[in-house]
Amino acid sequence: MARNKFDIDETLDTPFNIKHFRRALVYIKKQKKPMIVAFALSALSAGIALSAPLIMQHVVDVTIPNKDKMPLLGWSLLMLATIVVSVILATIRSRMMTRVGQDIIFDIRMDLFKHLQQLPFQYYDDRPQGKILIRVVNYVNSISDVLSNGIINFILEILNLLFIAIFMFAVDAKLSLVILAGLPVFLCVILMIKTRQRRAWQAVSNKSSNMNAYTQESISGIRVTQIFTREKYNEGTFTRLANSYRETWMRTMYLNFLIPFTVDNLSTIVTTSIYFVGLLALSPGEATFGVILAMSSYAARFWQPILNISNLYNSFVNAVAYLERIFETLDEPVTVGDAPDAKELPPIQGRVTFDDVTFAYEPGRNILEHLSFDIRPGESVALVGPTGAGKTTVVNLISRFYNITGGKLLIDGHDIADVKLKSLRSQMGIMLQDSFIFSGTIMDNIRYGKLDATEEEIVAAAKTVCADDFIREFEKGYMTEVNERGSKLSQGQRQLISFARTLLADPRILILDEATSSIDAQTERLLQRGLNELLKGRTSFIIAHRLSTVKNCDRIMYVADKSIAESGSHDELMAKRGRYYKLHSAQKMEA
């Protein structure tokens, strides 16, 4: 699929609209109280700061001409007090908003993580892990300040503009109109570039996502890269992705800097115009030097909030691109989940029935068609056949990792589409081909299958699968720390630990997908004895390419041609001299 590549830009399924931002307000409302306090502190700080030009005007026009030294000292101390109080209030507000911003990050990130854990395997099949990871980490970080400080600052700057306008017109209405004359030009620039800015930031998020996806893929496959000496080739690919990101970023920055550039120049022109109008156009009686000085100060203060608003606008446009990606993820449907009227699956015996089941990963490309069979409780079933025939798909459907396209799949007569997933999967033990090991101790990894398991139960499970001996050879035994994916362990050791983890859950239905593929023949024989005891009384599905490991199963099903081509015991299938017979004979000759 197109999206499952690091060099393909993601396309949004739905365009951004104001509803996205309204959804973001849900997280903001949770921090309503501290944000109101922070806003009040900001408003108070701004109001105090705005009194400074009035003090300056009075000192220039009255105090200094009258040569009043003591009042001058008093006004100076008052000016200093306004600065100190304003700084103190701004510092308190800044600390409060830092915490608010982090709380908003936490809430959004937790919602994303919870939703990602509920999404079906199909979602992860269609996307590189790096493109998912960047949404949970980078994108959430990028929007936090906009959703906390950004909103308060935007409202505050609007109020600042209103307060400054009031002060300006109170001092001199004509010079105030000169200051306001630059606004139409500024608004025209905003309208001209707003659409281009949004598209530019969408492109930045695409290139960032692509680069992150390739980095994650390269780190995960570093061993393969070094084995095949692909370092130079991979470096070239990464250089191309990094250059694409850099060029896209630079084009976006050109648009971003256009607004501050416009504001700075308008501010300079307006300030110059005040001196021109005040000193040359107006009569001496209309504007004193103190008034002109105060108005030039208000001009700088007036355009500073506009500059701040323009920067906030840039940040908002940037955040919009990330919000789109975040909400796109949150809107991904949980297609494999509990139905509204789903019921708890009672303790099961282990009967599994496929009733005319059809399944396709992609519409129109069926993997299984009209598949029907019935497995008795406690029966051991081997699934064999060519690669890609659908063996793993069969066991994935039993666990309901995917929804079937047609037919019914029943366990003890209960349609698994009508029961709660937790009650279904908690009664299954599943060991997939990928023996994933989490960072932590070996004991933690085994206990992952049963969090309340005692140390004795963990050791017993490890002994059953012949993992106890090699675990005790480590200096710290079961408390040995292992890295993510178990890089300190051999593939066979990782499989045995995963085996112990699966068996510890004491499942009624046991699914083993190539569970012994990386275990040597001697360990496999020891493991088989433990498995034979464990499989008694449990329904089990075993996928194995080595037929010697499954010939003792109660039933062997040969999966081919989108269905079950042959079914029976080892002896029955050998006597039939069909596909299983040919596969078994070929393996025997290779041995």
In the chain, what are the domains?
17-330 (1.20.1560.10), 341-426+543-591 (3.40.50.300)
Phi and psi torsions of 545, nearest 5°: -85, -30
Produce one character per residue of 491-522: b if its CB has 16 or more CB atoms within 10 Å, e if not. Answer: ebbbbbbbbbbbbbbebbbbbbbbbbbbbeee
**Higher-pLDDT residue of 33, 491:** 33
Phi and psi torsions of 487, nearest 5°: -65, -20
Residue that the structure tokens 């079906």 belong to: 120
Listed in sequence order, the DSSP H helices in 230-343 are 231-276, 289-330
CA-to-CA dists, residue 237 to 57, 126, 217, 279, angstroms: 63, 21, 12, 63
The order of strands in the sheet holding 352-362 is 365-375, 352-362, 406-411, 414-415
* CB 385, CB 391: distance < 8 Å: yes
Tokens for 288, please give them: 């004193």
Identify the helix (H) or strand (E) that includes residue 361: strand 352-362
Produce one character per residue of 110-129: b if its CB has 16 or more CB atoms within 10 Å, e if not. Answer: ebbeeebeebbeebeeebbe
- What would the pLDDT profile of 37-59 be if each residue is shown by its tens digit? 887 887 787 777 777 777 777 77
Check whether 26 has a pLDDT greater than 60.
yes
Q: For the ranges 95-99, 110-114, 366-370, which has the lowest average pLDDT?
A: 95-99
* Number of residues that this document lists for the chain: 591
pLDDT category at 2 given cuts 50, 70, 90 is: very low
- Cα(544)–Cα(546) distance, integer angstroms: 5
- What would the pLDDT profile of 229-270 be if each residue is shown by its tens digit? 788 888 888 898 889 889 988 888 888 788 778 877 877 787
- Cα(206)–Cα(191) distance, integer angstroms: 24
The mean pLDDT of 98-121, rounded to a whole number, is: 86
Q: Is 375 helix (H, G, I), strand (E, B) or coil?
A: strand
- Cα(508)–Cα(235) distance, integer angstroms: 49
Listed in sequence order, the DSSP H helices in 18-150 are 18-29, 32-58, 69-118, 121-125, 129-134, 140-145
Q: For the ranges 209-218, 231-240, 371-380, 442-451, which has the lowest average pLDDT?
A: 209-218
The mean pLDDT of 328-347, rounded to a whole number, is: 89
- Cα(558)–Cα(568) distance, integer angstroms: 9
Q: What is the pLDDT of residue 590?
A: 64
Tokens for 365, please give them: 């490309």
Check whether 329 has a pLDDT greater than 90.
no
- HEC profile for 244-263? HHHHHHHHHHHHHHHHHHHH
The mean pLDDT of 110-122, rounded to a whole number, is: 87
Question: Residue 410 burial (CB < 10 Å; 0-12/13-18/19+)?
Answer: middle
CA-to-CA dists, residue 531 to 66, 536, 541, 550, angstroms: 103, 9, 13, 12
pLDDT category at 357 given cuts 50, 70, 90 is: very high
**Higher-pLDDT residue of 514, 242:** 242
First to last CA, the chain: 39
Tokens for 116, please give them: 């990602």
Check whether 1 has a pLDDT greater than 50.
no
Residue that the structure tokens 């109170």 belong to: 170
Q: What is the pLDDT of residue 281?
A: 55
Q: What is the pLDDT of residue 515?
A: 65
Q: For the ranges 264-268, 369-373, 377-381, 570-574, which has the lowest average pLDDT?
A: 264-268
Check whether 287 has a pLDDT greater than 70.
no
- What would the pLDDT profile of 151-191 be if each residue is shown by its tens digit? 777 777 787 788 778 877 877 777 778 777 878 887 787 77
Dihedral (CA of 394, 544, 388, 371) sign: negative
pTM of the model: 0.68
* CB 334, CB 162: distance < 8 Å: no
Dihedral (CA of 334, 335, 341, 342) sign: negative
- Cα(359)–Cα(410) distance, integer angstroms: 15
- Rounded-to-10 torsion of CA 240, 242, 248, 254: -130
User: Average per-residue pLDDT in the chain?
Assistant: 81
